[in-house]
Structure 1
Amino acid sequence: MRKFRRLTLAAITVFVAGVAALPALAQQTRVTYKSAAAGTAYYQMGVELSEAIKAGTDGAVTVTLEESQGSVQNVMAVMRRGGNYVFTTPPSLVTKAMAGKGPFEGRPASAFGKIRGLFPIPAITMHWVVKGGDGVIGLKDLAGRHILIGRGSFGAREAQRYLELFELTDDVRIADADIGSGPDALKNGQIDGFVTASSFPTPNVIETAASLDISLVSLTPEQIERTGAAHQTIPAGTYAGIDEDVETTSLPVIAYTTTGMDEETAYTLTRTFWERREAMADESGWWAGITPEMIGNMTGKLHPGALRYYDEAGIEVPERLR
């Protein structure tokens, strides 16, 4: 009988210990983050963000990275994902998904109606890089130059659009080559400049500026307005020899989730992102350009958890996002 009692007490002790441990297990939240292909700048941002979230929550929230083939795939995945799914995309794709247009034609638009915004991440920024140490030049200074814009990419499409918009197509000679060859071709004197679109500081521009004098094209406020694109400032000193701010355009990128994420998780992710942004910027310069004003680039609605953080922090939120 005594032996049975001892066993029973031991069993009760184990049971109570197990129950006591349950809240600790329940506190850990797992989030899936889908951004870009491995080896890209945006995948590296995902690595840095996941480390920042883990550090900022003392491990209570862990972020698992998933490789992606692009923003369209990220948005499409909303149809079969639930819960703590976070993905990155330009806001324009969310607008198309909700309207059932473009690559989302024929898909149930209602499936994309559950998309909700969290916070901005570094934008895809237009860089017009030209050989020569003038520092900052204007669009008109491209006349007579041999410029590589690449093929098929966002940067190539935007560059071609701007050349047409500002009637420079007859004044600028376009090099027929892949944009990856831009820095070497510029160093070898095969071209006068190249266009690249990436978050800044972008490695190929850093590399080019370290080996020869370059200039960057800066647009006027009127020119930026005519493009219809988002305004982006590349701060002075971002690249060697560029001692003035460069005014250019960008394609905003936003971290989104869905209504499947609970309010507390969305609040924690958003709060931790902003609280750790400065520390991330100390490690990687591309986070330095993120400001609360970029929230205005979102389309759709903010997640209630993210909105709660912004209201608590006194950050202005456009009424259309509420």
Structure 2
Amino acid sequence: MGVTLLKKLSMAALAGSVLFAGTAAAETRITYKSAKTATSYYQMAVQIAEAVKTGTDGNIIMTVEESQGSVQNVMEAAVRPGNYVFTTPPALARLAKEGKGMFEDKQNPKFADIRALFPIPSLSMHFVVRADAGINSFDDLAGKTMLIGKGSFGAREGAKYLQLFGLEGKVKLADVELSNAGPALKNKQIDGFVTSGSFPAPNVIEAAAGSEVKILSLSDEQIAATKRTKLIIPKGTYAGVDEDISTTSLPVIAYTTTNMDDETAYTLTKTFWEQKGKMGSDNPWWNGVTTDMLNNITGQIHPGAVRYYKEAGIALPASAE
């Protein structure tokens, strides 16, 4: 091989290695701690990861990790290095910073480094009843058979609401798995069921497809008594439900820490909002996410995310910066 040809090949190889190194350096990796793999929130995490990869032309790659719950997600924020993103209700992030509640004996100064990025679909309460069961309000649940499930957030909230609204002991609780709610409703084994999920919730879609259903609305007074956040499920979300549903929700926010640099937080937040419309066309629960939900954030927002919101002219809560 001639010296000239060898020199050209060497230069080409060097150029290729420089190009590869530049590409590798441009790629940012993020760990996204979500929920159990069988949940809708894990599906959402995968959808965000795909959207971010698409929206940044592969310059940001998110690895989704399973989680046992929001408390674990927050705990790991104190020890995880690099670009760690996790989901939790704002109340838990606040309790961690204050060293209260379940974090009272797990205090860590690094909880002060938690910063918000953007909201994701809230957990919304659904009180679903058969249209022919004669139930038009919570008072009408007395003497009826309801399925509230066991162990879940929805089951705990359902039991709490029955007590708050004077229905404890007046409603028959069905001993049926929540996964069988649709068939049980159709077969008139139950008059209704309680579930929580990001709307449109798959099990409510299934129930509305198999039976004529109503979804009970809560009054403003009832919502205030629950100490939860008000949420409106738009009419037409479920088959045969032609009125807006006023219910309660548990907001959920995607957080990171100050370990994430401003540019990454800016790009991640900007890409999320730019891709949200496409995500919503494929998975309708994203359509319920709006910039108004930023008001559910009680702590600071990451400066990189703040930069995006200011550029976009989006109002932020006073605690944001």
| TM norm structure 1 | 0.93
Q: What is the CA-CA distance between 1:82 and the residue it aligns to?
A: 1.6
Aligned length: 321
Aligned ranges 1:186-197 → 2 under 5 Å:
186-197=185-196
Aligned to 2:61: 62
Q: Letter of the aligned partner of 1:291 in structure 2?
A: T
Instruction: Select between 114-123 and 140-149 the one with higher mean Cα deviation.
Output: 140-149
Q: How many angstroms apart in 2 are the aligned matches of 1:153 and 1:181?
A: 15
String of CA shifts for 1:149-187, please: whole Å, max 9, x gaps.
122221111112212222122432222443233223222
Aligned to 1:222: 221
| TM norm structure 2 | 0.93
Q: Letter of the aligned partner of 1:52 in structure 2?
A: A
Q: Secondary structure at the match of 1:315?
A: coil
Q: How many angstroms apart in 1 are the aligned matches of 2:134 and 2:283?
A: 23
Q: Is this contact kept in 2: 1:237–1:244, CA < 8 A?
A: yes
Aligned ranges 1:116-265 → 2 under 5 Å:
116-132=115-131, 137-265=136-264
User: What percentage of aligned pairs have identical amino acids?
Assistant: 53
String of CA shifts for 1:82-121, please: whole Å, max 9, x gaps.
2111111111111221122333232233121111100000
Aligned to 2:276: 277
String of CA shifts for 1:241-290, please: whole Å, max 9, x gaps.
10111010011111111110010111111111111111111101100100
String of CA shifts for 1:1-21, please: whole Å, max 9, x gaps.
x97787667545543543344
Q: Is this contact kept in 2: 1:129–1:194, CA < 8 A?
A: yes
Q: Is this contact kept in 2: 1:47–1:65, CA < 8 A?
A: yes
Q: How many angstroms apart in 1 are the aligned matches of 2:135 and 2:121?
A: 22
Give unpaired runs (5+ residues) of structure 2: none
Give unpaired runs (5+ residues) of structure 1: none
Q: How many angstroms apart in 1 are the aligned matches of 2:148 and 2:47?
A: 30
Aligned to 1:80: 79
Aligned to 1:35: 34
Give the direction of change, closer, same or farther, for the CA distance of 1:288–1:9 in structure 2 (3 Å limit). Answer: closer
Q: What is the CA-CA distance between 1:124 and the residue it aligns to?
A: 0.7
Give the direction of change, closer, same or farther, for the CA distance of 1:65–1:159 in structure 2 (3 Å limit). Answer: same
Q: Is this contact kept in 1: 2:182–2:210, CA < 8 A?
A: no
Give the direction of change, closer, same or farther, for the CA distance of 1:215–1:6 in structure 2 (3 Å limit). Answer: closer
Instruction: Select between 173-182 and 260-269 the one with higher mean Cα deviation.
Output: 173-182
Q: How many angstroms apart in 2 are the aligned matches of 1:127 and 1:261?
A: 37
